[in-house]
Amino acid sequence: MQKIRIGTRKSPLAMWQAELVASKLKDKNISTEIVPITSDGDINLKQPIYQLGISGVFTHSLDTALINNQIDIAVHSLKDVPTILPEEIELVSCLERGNPYDVLIYKSDKIFEKSKRTIGTGSLRRKSFWLNKFPQDEVENLRGNVQLRLQKLIESDWDGAIFAYAGIERSGILGELNSRGLKYQTLEWMIPAPSQGIVGITVRKGFEMPKISHENSTISAKIERQFLNILEGGCTAPIGGFAEIIDEIVHFKGAVLSLDGSKIILVDENFLKYEFENKGKELAEKCLNNGAKELIQQVQKELKA
């Protein structure tokens, strides 16, 4: 096989993910070349993601590079990849999942004693979950790569900010937090974004991708992305979905929230691993039947206001 050109965003985390894919291909005696590409989402760091008006704001530029044959494969944080892909592109590989949870990075243990805190995040899901648990708090918009967001937290008067644990860990920052005067706590009560912690690979249809996928991570991603696809329909909304596979049993938790976190529709079910094929759809439809449709419509109305 000829050298595989690996497309990636330019952030340190994205480059780490591309290097991981390159190492797995090297194990199969396949040579690679990493091609860094600037994404639309990395250019505009001031607006919240949901205001950019682009589906796949972090993947659009890589999609274009794939279609134009500038790269052979594109490596993504799978949570950033839309559930509906361009016609010429398909998702072919999911690497073994890292820690799927979110993490609160904060400056002082006094954060837990305060009656009102200020927390930074650019994610509607994280904002809604946080306000569901701490409705009195203020949540500020926070954009940029992991390093930029961390620096903004340090320089601000905020109490803390929420990150993906996998992003912090893979960026090599987790071990540096203490020396920078910061602490962290994993937020296991916050349902992760669908596919959070999974590295996904997309290709032009017809490209023969060597097999480097992890079975359970692939199944979890399919369930979670199907759940998101049915609920979201291409729109932005605060949605969490997490499928964990233990001893051939899938443990699924999903939620749809209002923007202010005051309303939440939950689903929590266990089922056999071999039954996964349409479970994401079934679980999403349960949420819709329990009021998620109206909740998402209200979210869209508020975002456009």
Helices (H) and strands (E) in the chain, counts: 9, 13
| Token digits of residue 87 | 């016609």
Amino acid present at 108? S
Beta-carbon count within 10 A of 52 CB: 16
Residue 244 has φ and ψ, to the nearest 5°, of: -110, 130
Cα distance from N-terminal residue to C-terminal residue, the chain: 52
What lies within 8 Å, CB to CB, of 68 at 6+ separation is none
**Looking at the DSSP assignment, which residues form a beta bridge with residue 246?**
249
Residue of 175, 39, 178 lying closest to 107 (CA atoms)? 178
Q: How far is CA 295 from CA 82, 261, 264, 265, 279, in A?
A: 21, 11, 9, 9, 22
* Distance, C-alpha 107 to centroid of its chain: 24
Question: Are 105 and 168 a contacting pair, CB within 8 Å?
Answer: yes
Sign of the CA dihedral 274, 275, 280, 283? negative
* Whether residue 80 lies in the annotated active site: yes
Rounded CA-CA distance 29/220 in Å is 28
**Residue among 42, 63, 72, 80 flagged as catalytic:** 80
DSSP string over 275-290: GGGGHHHHHHHHHIII
Catalytically annotated residues: 80
